[in-house]
Amino acid sequence: MPRVAFIGLGRMGHGMAGRYLDAGFEVAVWNRSKAKADDLIARGAHWAASPKEAALGADAVVTMVADDDASRAVWIGKDGAAASMKPGALAIECSTVSHAHALDMARELRSCGLIYIDCPVTGLPSAAAEGKLTLLVGADAADLEKARPYLAPLCTTVRHFGAVGSGTVFKLINNLMGAVQIASLAEGVAIAERAGLDMNLVAEALSTGAVASPQVIRHSKRMVARDFSGASFTAALRHKDAAYAVRLAEELLPGVPVSRAALAAYETAKASAPDDDEGAMIKIVSRPKG
Ligand code: NAP
């Protein structure tokens, strides 16, 4: 039976780890706070006291943690997974990390004899729990073929962008554009409110018209209703992704004023309420100034 270690049981990771149990894998789990593992343990997962313990004997280690610092800690920090992984095992990074970090980890883990692939995802926590994510992979083609059996339980689509790091490049561009769209939507909704428009009509028109991207569809009615229940992606994580993306843009396309404006908007949102849903941006934008 293939053995997977799953590290990071937040909104996304919890559902993803459950997919391996459903698919009949032998699963060891670790999370910084143990309580999030309780129901997975009840379903048959083995609790490990550290990433290092979880990774012992695993054919693949999959991580889904917040950011670069968390990723570094669980791979190569004290009691990190790399310390116990067997040569040739797969190190699958599903967290959204910076491009520089993905390349660093690839170097570090390859030097330990491991196969590292960057595999950030798109899809909400509900898609994670249902195995309906899209995976954005950076890997040598042969490494991706080895990883496929471990990716299959998580996803409906695998998009292979090229060498290690390229999945992360695309993910950061994608999420930077999401930040721009959501920040712009908040401003549009706030202007419409000040103009006294019928806001139910505005929400309906926005989510069915020419600007109706999935982000606009998801957030327009919630912004109008100020209903952010069931937060799935926080202001802090949106800010993190935009910051990593703008750092990448600095190397490739300096300037990017629209992207920088969205990053600044999410800096404010993160400073105000980091754990709020990203759509709560509307509360900041519509606040009376001065
Ligand atoms: P989350 O619910 O906030 O979970 C974050 C996870 O990271 C938790 O397991 C947390 O542990 C762990 N963590 C944070 N700092 C750590 C550290 N220093 N050391 C070890 N573990 C640490 O976030 P999420 O929404 O699941 O997102 C996880 C990743 O998926 C992020 O990279 C995010 O950008 C990406 N993502 C999210 C979505 C989404 O819709 N939510 C979609 C696509 C991609 P604790 O439980 O102990 O806090």
Sign of the dihedral through C-alpha 231, 235, 237, 238: positive
pLDDT tens-digit readout, 105-150: 999 999 999 999 999 999 999 999 999 999 999 999 999 999 999 9
Write down the domain spans for the chain: 3-163, 169-285
Q: What tokens does 64 get?
A: 């889904």
Query: What is the DSSP code (8-state) at residue 277?
Result: B
Q: Where does the pLDDT of residue 277 fall: very low under 50, low under 70, confident under 90, or very high at 90 and above?
A: very high
Cα–Cα distance between 148 and 267 in angstroms, integer? 37
Cα–Cα distance between 179 and 65 in angstroms, integer? 20
Ligand 1 atom closest to 33 (CA): 47
Distance from residue 197's CA to the centre of ligand 1 (Å): 38
Cα–Cα distance between 194 and 85 in angstroms, integer? 58
For ligand 1, which residues put their CB under 6 angstroms from it?
8-13, 31-33, 36, 64-66, 69-70, 73-74, 95-96, 121-122, 124-125, 232-233, 237, 241
pLDDT at 229 over 90: no
Distance from residue 88's CA to the centre of ligand 1 (Å): 26
pLDDT at 290 over 80: no
Residue nearest to atom 4 of ligand 1 (CA): 10
Active site (catalytic) residues: 171
Name residue 191's amino acid: I
**Domain 169-285's class?**
mainly alpha
Instruction: Name beta bridge partners: 7.
Output: 30, 63
Residue 224 confidence (pLDDT): 97
Residue 288 confidence (pLDDT): 85
Ligand 1 atom closest to 73 (CA): 19
In this chain, the answer to whether the domains covering 3-163 and 169-285 adopt an identical fold is no
Q: What tokens does 244 get?
A: 């990593």
Q: What tokens does 58 get?
A: 């695993």
Q: For residues 136, 139, 142 and 144, what is the CA-based torsion angle, rounded to 10 degrees?
A: -30
Residue nearest to atom 43 of ligand 1 (CA): 122
Distance from residue 93's CA to the centre of ligand 1 (Å): 12
Count, residues in the chain: 290
Distance from residue 73's CA to the centre of ligand 1 (Å): 13
Show the beta-strand stretches assigned E in 120-194.
Answer: 121-122, 133-138, 155-162
Indicate the burial class of 1 (C-beta count within 10 angstroms; 0-12, 13-18, 19 or more).
Answer: exposed
Ligand 1 atom closest to 133 (CA): 43
Residue 163 confidence (pLDDT): 98
pLDDT tens-digit readout, 68-98: 999 999 999 999 999 999 999 999 999 999 9
Q: What does the mean pLDDT of the chain come to?
A: 97
Ligand 1 atom closest to 7 (CA): 9
Q: What percent of the chain lies above the pLDDT cut of 90?
A: 97
Distance from residue 196's CA to the centre of ligand 1 (Å): 39
Most ligand 1 atoms within 8 A of CB, residue of 64, 105, 130, 238 to mutate = 64
- The CATH superfamily assigned to 3-163 is NAD(P)-binding Rossmann-like Domain (3.40.50.720)
pLDDT at 232 over 90: no
pTM score: 0.96
